[in-house]
């Protein structure tokens, strides 16, 4: 299961610690009127950021820094605002500036780790999280962010240790329980994964990811009805999440509820595809593929073909879509195109036994037909 985490959420978890640490490190402002003006600007920046007005917030932090280049709170919050907008390089530079001014600022290391990981530098991120923990062994968010990074490196054992430590430090952290659940899920420990997903939900019933994780684990245990209920709970919380409809459709499809499955795949395709960064695991490519499969089973081969092609258009390396397209084309009697697509599927995924079986059948039939023709 692909693991993702909310950058903005992880940043916000560390802000209070950052500000508390930076307040001690900042120099005293000589005139109270200046201090009052700065405090007012800071509050305006916070309000703008929380309202999603990131450009305005960024302008406020920069205006403070023009007057007070060493203002740690403004540097930190500018870094957070830049990172939220995807400007990781400059965000990292801001966090480094904070560390230069305050080498013992654990939260700055934690925030920098998140930005480094988002920038695709996991080893540096891990080093930054470890330094944050060295400076502040009670920094719960640093432990579970370290766990996330370690999972990305395939180090599940140490990741689980860090998630558990985060929970010890902050038993009310829904995030830590959720990430522990995902690690257990990835290790095949479904019962323990379910326990942790449920703990996360109990702590924060509006946190959609544990509902989806719980549903996935229940589905893996073939508890399909309970999985469907959890997918529906996730949709109730976040009705614009296209991926949830795909997953619900798959659960319904497993129960031969083709109409329900098809309806959910179509709903998914009407919603924005939020994450286009990790094909073929985008909601729309998956929705087209599974919709094609359901339509093929129902005998609507032409629309099935159109959906398999749409999936491939979204991700040219999506092996299952070529398998589906080849199968559908074979059913339509377009043998050459079917063979070409099944061969492409096997190039992308040599372990696709269904594609190989379909290809073998088509090649065998083609040889027979050629012999008859001769």
Residue 337 — pLDDT band, cuts 50, 70, 90?
very high
Are 122 and 155 in contact, with CB atoms under 8 Å apart? Answer: no
Residue 12 — pLDDT band, cuts 50, 70, 90?
very low
Q: What kind of architecture, by CATH, is found in domain 7-23+41-136? A: Alpha Horseshoe (1.25)
Nearest partner of 164 among 184, 144, 136, judged by Cα:
144
Identify whether 158 is preceded by a cis peptide bond (ω within 30 of 0): no
Per-residue pLDDT at 100: 96
Task: State pTM to two decimals.
Answer: 0.81
pLDDT digits (tens, 9 = 90+) for 68-106: 999 999 999 999 999 999 999 999 999 999 999 999 999
Residues 6+ apart with CB under 8 A from 83: 7, 11, 91, 111, 114, 115, 118
Per-residue pLDDT at 370: 79
Nearest partner of 281 among 289, 271, 270, 272, judged by Cα:
289
């Amino acid at each position: 299961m692909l693991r993702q985490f909310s950058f903005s959420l992880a940043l916000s978890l560390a802000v209070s610690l950052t500000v508390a640490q930076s307040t001690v490190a900042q120099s005293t402002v000589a005139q109270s009127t200046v201090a009052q003006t700065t405090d007012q600007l800071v509050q305006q920046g916070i309000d703008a950021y929380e309202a999603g007005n990131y450009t305005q917030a960024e302008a406020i932090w920069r205006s403070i820094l023009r007057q007070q280049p060493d203002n740690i709170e403004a540097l930190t919050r500018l870094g957070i605002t830049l990172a939220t907008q995807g400007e990781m390089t400059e965000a990292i530079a801001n966090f480094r500036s904070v560390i230069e001014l305050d080498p013992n600022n654990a939260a700055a290391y934690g925030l920098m780790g998140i930005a480094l990981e988002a920038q695709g530098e996991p080893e540096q991120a891990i080093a930054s999280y470890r330094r944050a923990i060295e400076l502040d062994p009670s920094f719960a968010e640093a432990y579970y962010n370290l766990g996330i990074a370690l999972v990305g490196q395939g180090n599940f054992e140490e990741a689980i240790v860090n998630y558990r430590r985060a929970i010890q430090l902050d038993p009310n952290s829904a995030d830590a329980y959720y990430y522990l659940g995902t690690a257990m899920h990835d290790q095949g420990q479904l019962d323990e994964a379910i326990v942790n997903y449920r703990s996360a939900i109990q702590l924060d019933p509006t946190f959609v990811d544990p509902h989806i994780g719980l549903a996935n684990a229940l589905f893996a245990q073939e508890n399909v009805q309970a999985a469907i209920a959890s997918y529906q709970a996730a949709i109730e919380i976040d009705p614009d999440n296209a991926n949830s409809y795909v997953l619900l459709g798959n659960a319904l499809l497993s129960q031969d509820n083709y109409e329900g499955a098809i309806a959910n795949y179509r709903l998914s395709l009407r919603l924005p595809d939020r994450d286009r960064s990790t094909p073929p695991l985008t909601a729309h490519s998956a929705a087209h593929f599974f919709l094609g499969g359901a339509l093929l089973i129902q005998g609507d081969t032409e629309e099935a073909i159109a959906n398999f092609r749409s999936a491939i258009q979204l991700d040219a390396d999506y092996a299952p879509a070529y398998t589906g397209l080849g199968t559908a084309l074979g059913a339509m009697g377009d043998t050459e195109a079917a063979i070409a697509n099944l061969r492409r599927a096997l190039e992308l995924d040599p372990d696709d036994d269904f594609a190989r079986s379909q290809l073998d059948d088509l090649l065998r039939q083609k040889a027979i037909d050629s012999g008859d023709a001769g």
